[in-house]
Amino acid sequence: MVDRLLGRSHGDGQPENPNAAVWAHVQQARNLKRPHTLELLKAMADEFVELHGDRLFGDDSAIVAGLARISGRRIVVIGFQKGQDTEENIRRNFGLPHPEGYRKAMRVMELAERYGMPILTFVDVQGAFPGAAAEERGIAEAIARSVGLMTRLRTPIVVVITGEGGSGGALGLAVGDVVLALENSIYSVISPEGCASILWRSSDQSQAAAVAMKVTAGEQVELGVVDAVIPEPGEGAHTDPAETARLVRDVVLERLDVLGRLSLDDLVEARFKRYRAYGPYTVAERPAAPPERVGITDRLRGLLTKPTMPPFPGTRRTGPSGREEV
Amino acid sequence: MPVRLPFRPRRDAYPPDLWTKCPGCAEMLFNKQLDKSLRVCPHCGHHFRIPAKTRIEQLVDSGSFIERDSDLSPVDALGFVDLKAYPDRLMAAQLSTGLRDAAVWGIGNIGGRPVSMCVMDFGFIGGSMGSVVGEKVARAGEAAIADRIPLIIISSSGGARMQEGTYSLMQLVKTMGVVERVKAARVPFISVMTDPTTGGVFASFAVVGDVNLAEPNALIRFAGDRVSSGTISEELPAGYARAEFWFSHGFVDRIVARAHLRDEIIALLGFLIAPPLNGSAETPQAPVSRPRSFLSALTGALTGENVAESHNGETGASRGEAPRG
């Protein structure tokens, strides 16, 4: 199974351990020396004014937001910021954002909408900070509202996944008209470690989880979640941040030109439709569909063709916690 | 032991699990009695998890619920295999629950008012949200907008379904996109969080209701134990991330015991009324005395009620605030 998956996505047919190839990709995406938002901006923007604070609680240094001038254009840039060394990482909470980060992002995105500036986001985050401080201040609410806001913002949004696109924490800044990804980046619903510890009940299986979730940028393009891959120079983005920034800038400006030609109504409608359409499902064919007015109980029972005794209301299943039979 | 006699065949249909041990107080509870108390322990008030269809039966006017899209079925788009192949997990869950995926949605009446309702079922792969669940939530929201009836979502979910990869993550956007439209249309949205509401479900539609209700002691949390203990090490206090925790931190409006949930929803719906589409106050008013069939209630929601303010209190009182049990 794994061979088949990899055969399709890589096709090089090398006899090396296929899990290892994907895992190397994950490691590359996590490379501390990869350029993050501020490094990319330094190379691609003529001017950048960072804005701080969510006006509610504080300022989150794991997410940076501000006004940039890139090739003469005014663009609001928001992105995750990991540190490049231990000291900076401690200051930036290892790039794990608290709710304040997303609330700052929302505030700045609304600014962009009001002043007619397009939004560019850089996504590189393992996930939102999973500790109590983030939880009790409503990290879930902050992410939900940020995602909701981005589905309806009346200004073009371009998302670039530059490293790790990890779970809801990444998604909070990753809803856009165009979603791009650097070649060595990853995008997943949960970190491979988290997936392995839940589904395999062992974090040793992170490599298998990474393969199963199809985390690589190329695979995400095949799934249609990412629109296009931006190639990285040389051995990876960390070897030449300036060239990486130039490649990113060219693609982003090109995409913004295309988006700028759409009316805002069409833009927002197209963005909504894009996300509305995600996720495959089928409509199961049933022998003799029952008429619409049949109660739900009958319909559900009709689905259940297994010859068991009729379930008692509410006693159908053993709850996860402690029902004992006597 | 049941005696097998030809004239008492019903004995064969007795379930082997007549009793349930309450995880809250370790009391042995007779299942029939537990069902009568809406699967809440009469001794300690522990709220057992209940299947979606049981939840619907408890909330809607008897026989008024019409399920929609029960035939939507999940697809294994990634060819996902962990310890078990995803299609096998789906098959097992479908057999044990009788559902095709972890949510049921449809239109029903609550206290005589039509609502669009989506209920998640924890028994189906932990109530996890894959493409089908996201689609059903979205369709429930769209039906609420189209019919201008309230949207009620009862969450019970471990979060996004890992086996569908980033497609599951995209369901957060899909559902939030629709919820934003529900709000823009000024259609009421009541979110009920039950045990458990975690991960991507908590971080999308469940937390942004016009009114957020929660069942007592429900686990509500963004980062699961296994996720956060693997990533950071931090001691968590007892009662952490339970419904009462969220109430005190301001993310839940009311904690409602299961026995009162229906009445609470009826009372809230008496206040939250979708205004007419064009915002015109001159819309002709339907006669208030008309018997409330499904259709007339619908027309009422579309045109009447909120027009004349003098009727608001009256209709709200007669319709909304049924005596509490």
Query: What digits encode the pLDDT tens for the residues A202-245?
Result: 878 899 999 999 999 999 999 999 999 999 998 889 899 999 99
Q: Where are the domains positioned within chain A? A: 2-276
Place of tokens 């995600």: A278
B111 within some domain? yes
pLDDT score recorded for residue B216 = 95
Max CA pair span of chain B: 71
Residues of B in contact with A306 (CB under 8 A): 95
Pinpoint the alpha helices (H) of chain B: 31-36, 52-59, 86-97, 131-147, 165-184, 199-202, 225-231, 243-248, 258-271, 294-302, 309-315
Residues of B in contact with A140 (CB under 8 A): 202-203, 207, 222
Q: What are the pLDDT digits (tens) for A270-290?
A: 999 999 999 999 998 764 444
Same domain, B5 and B124: no
B249 within some domain? yes
Q: Is the pLDDT of residue B81 over 50?
A: yes
By three-state DSSP, how is residue A322 classified?
Answer: coil
**Residues A147-164: what's their mean pLDDT?**
96
Domain endpoint, select from B9, B25, B46: B46
Same domain, B29 and B90: no
pLDDT score recorded for residue A235 = 87
Judge: B164–A282 Cβ closer than 8 Å, yes or no. no
Distance from CA of A291 to the nearest CA of B (A): 11
Same domain, B62 and B40: no
Which residues in B37-62 are b (16+ Cβ under 10 Å) and which e?
ebbbbeeebbbbbbbbbbbbbbbbee
Cis peptide leading into residue B196 (ω within 30°): yes
Q: Is the pLDDT of residue B303 over 80?
A: no
Judge: A168–B200 Cβ closer than 8 Å, yes or no. yes
Task: Find the distance separating the first CA and the last CA of chain B, reported in whole Å.
Answer: 38
Band of the pLDDT at A1, cuts 50, 70, 90? very low
B1 at A interface, C-beta within 8 A: no
Judge: B173–A132 Cβ closer than 8 Å, yes or no. no
Judge: A208–B132 Cβ closer than 8 Å, yes or no. no
Band of the pLDDT at B273, cuts 50, 70, 90? confident
Same domain, B97 and B241: yes
Same domain, B170 and B54: yes
CB A253 within 8 A of CB A71: yes
Virtual CA dihedral for A59, A65, A69, A75, nearest 10 degrees?
-140
Radius of gyration for chain B, computed over Cα atoms and rounded to the nearest angstrom: 21
Q: Which residue of A has its CA nearest to B26?
A: A322
Contacts with B, A 260-299, CB within 8 Å: 272, 275-276, 278-286, 289, 292-293, 295-297, 299
Q: Is the pLDDT of residue A8 over 50?
A: no
Same domain, B92 and B41: no
Same domain, B37 and B54: no
Distance CA B213, CA B80 (A): 35
B134 at A interface, C-beta within 8 A: yes
CATH of the domain at B193: 3.90.226.10
Distance from CA of B312 to the nearest CA of A (A): 32
Judge: B176–A144 Cβ closer than 8 Å, yes or no. yes
Same domain, B8 and B65: no
Q: Number of folded domains in chain B?
A: 2
Contacts with A, B 264-303, CB within 8 Å: none
Judge: B179–A148 Cβ closer than 8 Å, yes or no. yes
| B322 or B68, higher pLDDT | B68
Distance CA B320, CA B268 (A): 8
Same domain, B242 and B106: yes
Pairing of β B151-157 and β B113-120: parallel
Q: In terms of Cα–Cα distance, which of A316, A203, A140, A320 is closest to B126?
A: A320
Percentage, residues of chain A above pLDDT 70: 83
B286 within some domain? no
Same domain, B152 and B245: yes
Mean pLDDT of all residues belonging to chain A: 85
| A226 or B305, higher pLDDT | A226
Band of the pLDDT at B309, cuts 50, 70, 90? very low
**Residues B267-277: what's their mean pLDDT?**
88
Q: Is the pLDDT of residue A308 over 60?
A: no
| A105 or A83, higher pLDDT | A105
Same domain, B137 and B42: no
pLDDT score recorded for residue A161 = 96
Band of the pLDDT at A18, cuts 50, 70, 90? confident
Q: Tell the CATH superfamily of the A2-276 domain.
A: 2-enoyl-CoA Hydratase; Chain A, domain 1 (3.90.226.10)
Same domain, B9 and B58: no
Percentage, residues of chain B above pLDDT 90: 66
Q: Is the pLDDT of residue B283 over 90?
A: no
Q: What are the pLDDT digits (tens) for A89-138?
A: 899 999 999 999 999 999 999 999 999 999 999 999 999 998 889 999 99
Closest partner residue to B53 among A171, A300, A315, by Cβ? A300
Judge: A316–B224 Cβ closer than 8 Å, yes or no. no
Q: Is the pLDDT of residue B322 over 60?
A: no
Pairing of β A281-283 and β B72-74: antiparallel
Interface confidence, given as ipTM, is 0.83
By three-state DSSP, how is residue B128 classified?
Answer: coil
Q: In terms of Cα–Cα distance, which of B63, B70, B50, B58 is closest to B108?
A: B63
Facing residues of A49 across strands?
Answer: A67
Q: Is the pLDDT of residue B228 over 90?
A: no
Contacts with A, B 68-107, CB within 8 Å: 70-75, 77-83, 94-100, 104, 106
Band of the pLDDT at B229, cuts 50, 70, 90? low
Judge: A130–B223 Cβ closer than 8 Å, yes or no. yes
**Residues B175-198: what's their mean pLDDT?**
96
Burial of B9 (0-12, 13-18, 19+ CB in 10 A): exposed
Q: Is the pLDDT of residue A13 over 50?
A: no
Judge: A315–B35 Cβ closer than 8 Å, yes or no. yes
B36 at A interface, C-beta within 8 A: no
B20 at A interface, C-beta within 8 A: yes
Contacts with B, A 153-192, CB within 8 Å: 167-168, 171, 175, 187-191
Q: Which residue of A has its CA nearest to B81?
A: A212
Q: Is the pLDDT of residue B288 over 60?
A: no
A131 at B interface, C-beta within 8 A: yes
Distance CA B158, CA B175 (A): 16
The token duo for A297 is 């109980």
Band of the pLDDT at A297, cuts 50, 70, 90? low
Q: Is the pLDDT of residue B313 over 60?
A: no
Judge: A304–B95 Cβ closer than 8 Å, yes or no. yes
Question: Domain range holding B194?
Answer: 50-271
Residues of B in contact with A147 (CB under 8 A): 172-173, 176, 204
The token duo for A119 is 């939004």
The token duo for A146 is 């940020």
Distance CA B153, CA B205 (A): 8
B231 at A interface, C-beta within 8 A: yes
CB pairs under 8 A between A and B: 292
Distance CA A275, CA A280 (A): 12
Distance CA B189, CA B182 (A): 8
